Structure 1
Amino acid sequence: MTMQEITFWGLLLASSFVGMLIFGIILELSTRHSLFFTMMKLTKYFINFATVLVIPLALFFPESKPLLWNLSLYAVFILMCIRPLHDLFPRLRLIRLISLRKNLGIFSATIVVVFGVQHYIGLGLAAFLTEYFSLAAWHDLFFGRIGELTGAILLLTSNKLSIRLLKRNWKRVQRLSYVYFFSGAWYVFSSFHKLFGLVSIVIVAQLTLFAFIKKNTAVRFTHTVTRSFVSLGIILLLVFSSVGALKIDKALRVRTSLEKQLLQEKALVDEEQATVDSLQQETKQLREQTTATREGKL
């Protein structure tokens, strides 16, 4: 799939979503349902529709893999921000968005699991056992493996049957979403050098920390000035963290550039060595031919 085709499908999905919103507005005017309720319902349908498209895109359009990986990270990032933002700023009434977390989580985990299963099926059973259970593979792709495992667990338990079977333990299992997010975001940053992976970790960690402090301490952010200072502190932390992330990303890019340069130099050395070996082989053949010619004359 080329970038133009990906853009086409993206615009098609966006236009379909806009059409669904228009339909929802008409439905709201005719049935007197709340507009927010209708939009939330349509958003869930849209996310579910996008989830269904993951499998055909992964199977028939492998070029869409980077796009789907990015969408997976964006979805779980939004998911992780909803709850702490509601705890910090209850007047925003973000509690109404919590119902979207399940749909966003299923969408994100589906992408990870589908690509993981596709990769391991392509390897074959023997290669899968060798790669997946080898210490070297886990050492190199530790956070990626953790993201796959936690994503599969969260995907398998995102249903009513799991809620009935696990009961109180279901919420404990769902806390793996933190492990899933942080491991996946770090893997995206460390392996693909995407700055958003690190920035998303910083943002979610800070929001979660502030929300935890607010809920579990005697501090009450009731005064407007206090809330303003808290908001300013969050903004400053995000700015400084983003600057630090930019520096880290720059260092990683320099390192990657040096590694590529070393690989290119090694390739040139190998090519020169191959040329020398070829010349030596030709010289040897010429000597053998000369010797054979002399012996024939004698």
Structure 2
Amino acid sequence: MTDQSTTDRRPCAQRRNTRPWVWFVVVIVLVLLVAAGIVIWQSQSRADSAEDAAHAYLRALESGESSAVQGTGVEVSDEALQAFDGADSLVSEATVISVDQTGSSATAHVSFVLGETEHEADLALVRSDGRWVPDGSGLAEVTVSTTVGSAVSIGDTVLEASDALSLIPAVYTVAAAPTAYLTGSIAVVALPGATDHVEVDASLRPEATEAAQERLDELLEACAAETALPADGCGIRIPWGTEFRTVDDAAFRIETMPTLVLTDDGASFTATGGKLVATLTGTAHDGSAPRTTTYRSENWAVRGDVAFSGDEMTLTVW
């Protein structure tokens, strides 16, 4: 009996010693599950509001950081992001006045200071992938033209003129491009949702004429190195047709390069005052014998077109 009672009491003692630990583990597990449920519920129910998204966009504009603007979810081009990094003045004192929300769309009425002037604007927001994001109304549409060339620059960003540019709200200096050859700029205040057209009154820098002369010299030297009659685009015309039936060989010597002058609009050039000697060898016009004739131009003139695009200037000789 003694052995039996002892045997019966041992499991009871063991169970009494084990049960508190089991309950402790169960409680810990339950606490963790409840906490996880609260976190999940909060993460699902605490989605950013339209007002929060509007505030975030305004803060991003004030920061001057293109990455912050991109992080708001607004669709913006790489060129606009690069231009924003070169902005002269940023939005400040921005605040959300009111928000009207209907389903998955909302409009935030905001105020801010830009270009030392207080402005108000309506910022439309839409629900996308579980978050509120500004739509295109958060950008400014600016069309820029220029009196010379076909491109403009904002900082280091070169953009085609006459295209509608969607710019991030800020104050920008828009300059005629390429800036190495052209001068002229205009300040643009890009406001959210605004549409604007500006023109850059551009003019040629002295460097433009210098660079154009260098390019023309290189082109004419390459033409003079030819041993056949030059093709179109060299500005060399010789009246050999009355003396030669065929020309087998040509030798050119430039004694003086023509001096180039660009037109005021930079669209074309005239180069005059050059001296060119050309010696042609071939068959005489009547076909009777070989012939060699030297032609000399004391006022060699060359004309052509000029194009400014992006960072480049190109010449085309007529």
| Higher strand residue share | 2
Q: TM-score range by the shorter chain?
A: under 0.3
Computing the radius of gyration from Cα coordinates, the structure with the larger value is 2
| Higher helix residue share | 1
Normalising by structure 2, what TM-score?
A: 0.22
